[in-house]
Structure 1
């Protein structure tokens, strides 16, 4: 019972909303003033040292295993923990970063397939019809029309490139192909997409054939580092650099530069921490093996080292928060089917993952940023003002 006072000390300073905590002995306490907005129930005592060693891993596993229950919004609870100035989520003595991750081509393939090859049927249950698994772009405010927002995101990215018909585009980490196929069909570009996911490769290949775009689009099941001396007028990469690891971030941007023709344009879209790079042990173990969220300064320095120049930077934090909230709503709408397909533990894990990420964006713990880059003087061959980016397709 010696650990319980330590729990009380930690939890009494962990949230900026009133929270009810029910301990493993059945006794409850309310921390904060007012009616509790969320209740945390410890069905089993978690060793306190496990929490201090790595809170995200210890508490995430406890929730997956039903040793920990949360009544109310997981997102609100985690957001509160991030925003509380004294929270264990912020205190440096409780932060533990993972050891260096391997990111060989073989390891990258295993990491990607462990996440994206869960199955297209799983992702269809809660993504929008475009099967886009990245931050949407809500041009009409806080709308619930996720499909329209994902299509708007694709056009927003392509318009930033100011593309000319007949030119070439490389999409690094092409996902289920919405961006590359839109670029081919609606912008007249010759496109190449690369992915390490077999499920994505097979679906994109089918889409290319179904749309009659065989002469204009190709998808490759290979590592982006294997493209040799090929060059393209434009490069896009959405939600990709979070997978390459800190040690490979410089190589990633150098490859972007290598694949661009002189004065070519790239749009790189990815999750970034403005406070500095970090990993999350629970997400790395169960959701994104090998994942690393780079810091803003780290990314800027790698861009500079690759001899690329920044033309435009846009923060889309609130857009990703809203995207995740809709994904989680869709996910829970399909929860019985997902539990039948994947099991209860997996379903609890993914629900927590989606809500935790939404809370992290909401609190400003992480951001998502679009970097418009040129291989040559910034903005060369692009319009003088940003207005061209905002013209509706």
Structure 2
């Protein structure tokens, strides 16, 4: 086995039951023998060397390209074992690992230079993939962000409806007709929910052509086109003002150097008595690099902030943080559902793309789930205002609004069950 890889593995694995067959056919056991047996086979010496030198990028890349195979177990089980052991941090303290981390941190300004042109290209890289791909593993509403599991046994569809309800309650819709901006509207699910259940006047913006087409079609199909309009637009170009601003799963694409621009623009767009809700992946430890594989192949230009990075920019923009909730394992459960759904329909994904793409997507979903279970990733829901008097004195309004919305959602579900279809399915369905 490659000597650098061997040193790295000896520092990493203190627990577990992992067998590795190297490119020469030599078999080595790692861990203390506990847990289900897992087995990796390296197919080339180049793959061994690459993973030893830069495991954060090359383990996923090598798996994607066929340089290594999982002989026993799954890529998720292997990553779960790696992440559980890596939580101790010994391997990450290797000199070359620290050097790579420093180099990536210095290079971050170039990678995350998310100008309007570059931001659109980054969004198109991921979100303009075939809509049929997302139908394989997302819920019926195509919610591609962290769900909210009110109970451990909730279905993915129920948890995604609960997420929209939870966010809507925090936005404090005290009257109909409130002008609402949805920054990063995706396929329109959040905006359509607000238009339907709270009679909001929604403007949804995206940089994805695929998402825009589906969002507009859904608005037409559901009879909400008069209250929910969608368009291609960068947040920096929007004109207001708005009573409410919501942004779900978009802030991860902004980039640290643009946080001041983002929140300053939101402050300009929000009315004096307005309310904003930001739903974003974050980390509960100090700022750190984005996973190298995810940054290169899945979300170019993406960055996951610490809470301190967000609140500092909020303060500079003159906004007030009025509520913060940390969703800890909700995204891990969301990703588990996505990973299992994708696996169940993997042959269809391969028919859309190829085996390499399927391996890339498997690694992305598995590594993301493991990150939320064993590393420092969480989801922040941050409520912002411009006035300390914009909201009621206590948080009771949130719980009361959520209860009312749950009644409406349950009534919709019952009606859909009788009719045999949800009222807002994607046009492709």
TM-score of Structure 1 vs Structure 2, range by shorter chain: over 0.9
Q: Is the 8 A contact 1:173 1:193 kept in 2?
A: yes
Aligned to 2:20: 21
- Between stretches 98-107 and 218-227, larger displacement belongs to 98-107
**Partner residue, 2:168:** 158
Q: Which residue of 1 aligns with 2:146?
A: 135
C-alpha deviation, 1:9, in angstroms: 2.0
Q: Contact (CA 8 Å) 2:37, 2:73: kept in 1 or not?
A: yes
Cα displacement (A) at 1:261: 0.3
Offset of residue 372 of structure 1: 0.9
Give the aligned partner of residue 33 of structure 2: 34
- Give ranges in structure 2 of 5+ residues lacking alignment: 406-429
Equivalent of residue 391 in structure 2, options 367, 374, 382 = 382
Give me the whole-angstrom Cα distance separating, in 2, the residues matched to 1:90 and 1:337. Answer: 41
Provide Cα deviations, 1:292-314, integer angstroms capped at 9, x if missing partner. 11122111111111111111111
Shift, 1:369, TM fit:
1.0
Larger deviation: 86-95 or 269-278? 86-95
Structure 2 partner of 1:299: 310
CA distance in 1, matches of 2:362, 2:118: 26
In structure 1, the residue matched to 2:423 is: none
Residues 11-90 of structure 1 aligned to structure 2 (within 5 Å)? 11-15=9-13, 16-35=15-34, 37-46=37-46, 50-51=50-51, 54-70=54-70, 71-84=72-85, 85-89=88-92
SS at match of 2:382: strand
**2:349 matched to 1:338?**
yes
Distance 1:190 1:91 in 2: 54
Query: 2-side partners of 1:166 and 1:87: how far apart?
Result: 55
Please list the CA deviations of residues 176-205 of structure 1 after superposition, one character each: whole Å capped at 9, or x if unmatched: 111100100110111100000001100111
The counterpart of 2:268, out of the listed 258, 262, 266, is 258
Contact map agreement 1:277 1:298 (CA 8 A) in 2: no
Paired residue secondary structure (2:387): coil
Q: Distance in 2 between matches of 1:208 and 1:362?
A: 36
Alpha-carbon separation, structure 2, partners of 1:226 and 1:150: 30
**In the alignment, what sits opposite 1:319?**
330
| TM-score, with length taken from structure 2 | 0.86
Query: Could you say if the C-alpha distance between residues 284 and 185 of structure 1 is closer, same or farther in structure 2, counting changes exceeding 3 Å?
Result: same
- State the alpha-carbon separation in 2 of the partners of residues 90 and 200 from structure 1: 42
2:190 paired residue among 168, 175, 179: 179
Q: Counterparts of 1:234 and 1:91 in 2: how far apart (Å)? A: 48
Say if 1:168 and 1:234, in contact at 8 Å, map to a contact too.
yes
What secondary structure, in the 3-state scheme, does the structure 1 residue paired with 2:140 have? Answer: coil
Of 212-221 and 113-122, more deviation after overlay is shown by: 212-221
Distance in 2 (CA, whole Å) between partners of 1:110 and 1:334 is: 28
The structure with the largest helix share of the pair is 2
Q: Deviations over 1:70-109 (max 9, x none)?
A: 3324334323333331453565751422622221111111
> Does structure 1 retain, via aligned residues, the 8 Å contact 2:147–2:162?
yes
- Distance in 2, matches of 1:236 and 1:39, equals 45
**Separation in 2 of the partners of 1:269 and 1:277?**
19
The Cα RMSD (Å) is 1.9
Which of the residues 117, 120, 137 maps onto 1:106? Answer: 117
SS at match of 1:137: coil
SS in 1 for 2:321: strand
CA distance in 1, matches of 2:59, 2:379: 25
Matched residue pairs, number? 387
- Out of 148-157 and 86-95, give the one that drifted further: 86-95
Question: SS where residue 12 of structure 1 aligns?
Answer: helix
**2:228 maps to 1:225:** no
The one-character-per-residue Cα deviations of 1:198-226 (angstroms, maximum 9, x if unpaired) are 01100111111112223211111111111
Q: Secondary structure at the match of 2:397?
A: helix
1:119 alignment partner in structure 2: 130
CA distance in 2, matches of 1:92, 1:350: 30
Q: Among residues 348, 358, 361, which one is paired with 2:369 in the alignment?
A: 358
